[in-house]
Amino acid sequence: MLVLGIETSCDETAAAIVRDGKEILSNVIYSQVKTHTPYGGVVPELASREHLLKIRPIVDQAFSDAGMTLDDIDGIAATSGPGLIGSLLVGLTYAKALAFSKHKPLAAVNHIEGHIYSVSFEHPEVEFPALGLVVSGGHTNLFWIESASGDFSNLHYKLVGRTRDDAAGEAYDKVAKLLGLPYPGGPIIDRLAKTGNREAIPFSIAKISDRSLDFSFSGVKTAVLRMVKENEKLKEDPLRLALLAGFQEAVVNMLWSTTARAVTLLSPRSIMLSGGVAANSRLREVFAERTAEAGLKLYYPKPILTTDNAAMIAAAGTAKLMRGEIAAIDVNADPNLRLAVAERDFPAKRWK
Ligand code: KG4
Ligand code: ZN
């Protein structure tokens, strides 16, 4: 099955052609980062306008890179939420128009589910049930993922933990802005923090409760703000590097400590990391060390599939189309679309 994937939920206009949810024939990503950098973050109006300009050439490029035309594909998958409403509408409406005019089935894909499927290309062997940690600019969610068929073709999700305030990527971006670093802050902080002493400036991490699997990042962000206000020297190297390394350590520790608690409570067979922040080198390092110690399998995608892309949307969409979950032509974009409702009692129930 050949599927065209379209992703426009935030500030990337992306299109990809994927065969059988496995083989990426083309993967075109146009990043709007230059447009938004002067504002220190994504400006929704500018994002949707730029998606409008780029959607057609990017989809055309995905077809030409794959050596195909619209007539060759079997279905279309587009992100329908969550995300910026104006941005989502551009990709979803374009996909609907293509599907309608060419009589192709359409799958409406949840962006978060797309991130989870980004792992499936290189690691179709993931063993379920798995814990799926999705860490991006807009989301920090911990899912309990079961498979009806043992593989990626039919997954079921329970949301067992989420951020109570900022998303992990949002904390990176805000701290970067505070220190005068350009948007997006994650990749720059990742690079700069490598040379900083991560123990020089310790951060205490918020503990929500022993039973909760939720996260919180606004405390670390506010701590950076307070420290910088009290000591201007923290804006200059080498103190700045130590501050960034300490901040990153606190974020990574928060992510690992909650995941570790979920491992104890739920006994998954593997852990999947995805979303833009999963590209972080320290996060990968810490998770790799700790999961190896615990004898757990850890899976994450290569960096190009970690941040927003349409190949992951095509993969999740292929599974939907194969199951016959075809979207109606009047399907709407939903900026708050959920993959699963929060399961407050779920870990406690399994604890016994
Ligand atoms: O998944 P993504 O491309 O978009 C959303 O769905 O939000 O994630 C973007 C986020 C941004 O906040 C960016 O700063 C962060 O991922 N990010 C990183 C790294 N690369 C991207 N954060 C930490 N370390 C990185 N290497
Ligand atoms: Zn994303």
pLDDT of residue 205: 74
Tell me if 22 sits within 8 A of 124, measured CB to CB.
yes
Largest Cα–Cα separation, the chain: 63
Contact 311, 5 (CB under 8 A): yes
Report which protein residue has its CA nearest ligand 1's atom 21: 276
pLDDT tens for residues 155-201? 999 999 999 999 999 999 999 999 999 999 999 999 999 999 999 99
Protein residue closest via CA to atom 23 of ligand 1: 186
Alpha-carbon distance of 232 to 246, in angstroms, equals 17
Is residue 304 within 8 A of residue 270, CB to CB? The reply is: no
Work out whether strand 140-147 and strand 75-81 pair parallel, antiparallel, or are unpaired. Answer: unpaired
Look at the chain and count its residues: 352
pLDDT of residue 352: 36
Q: What is the CATH number of domain 1-122+302-338?
A: 3.30.420.40
d(CA 25, CA 50): 25
Q: How far is CA 344 from the centre of its chain?
A: 23
**Alpha carbon of 186 to ligand 1 centroid (Å):** 6
Q: What are phi and psi of 248, to 5 degrees?
A: -60, -40
Residue numbers of the chain with a pLDDT score lower than 50: 351-352
Q: Distance between CA 64 and CA 297 in Å, rounded? A: 37
Q: Which atom of ligand 1 is nearest to the CA of 9?
A: 6
* Rounded-to-integer distance, Cα 349 and Cα 293, Å: 26
Helices assigned H by DSSP within the chain: 33-36, 44-66, 85-102, 111-117, 168-178, 185-193, 218-230, 239-266, 281-293, 303-306, 311-322, 346-351
Cβ 236 vs Cβ 191: under 8 Å: no
At which residue do the structure tokens 């004898």 appear? 295
pLDDT at 40: 86
Pairing, β 12-19 against β 23-31: antiparallel
Question: Separation of 142 CA from ligand 2 center, angstroms?
Answer: 14
Starting at the edge strand found earlier in the chain, the sheet holding 106-110 runs 23-31, 12-19, 2-7, 75-81, 106-110
Domain 126-300 has CATH 3.20.20.20: no
Residue 192 confidence (pLDDT): 97
Contact 278, 135 (CB under 8 A): yes
Give the whole-angstrom CA distance, residue 122 versus residue 302. 8
Structure tokens at 239: 């103190």
Tell me how far the alpha carbon of residue 351 lies from the centroid of ligand 1, in angstroms: 33
Please identify every residue whose CB atom is under 5 Å from ligand 2, which is an ion: 136, 308
Residue of the nearest CA to atom 10 in ligand 1?
137
Query: Which residue ranges does the chain devote to CATH 3.30.420.40?
Result: 1-122+302-338, 126-300
Q: Give residue 20's pLDDT.
A: 98
What local confidence, expressed as pLDDT, does residue 347 receive?
61
According to the model, what pLDDT value does residue 211 have? Answer: 75
Residues with C-beta less than 6 Å from any ligand 1 atom: 10, 136-138, 169, 172-173, 184-187, 190, 275-277, 279-280, 307-308
Whether 309 contacts 18, CB under 8 Å = no
pLDDT for the residue numbered 351 = 44
Ligand 1 atom with the smallest distance to the CA of 173 is 14
Rounded CA separation 280/277 (Å): 5
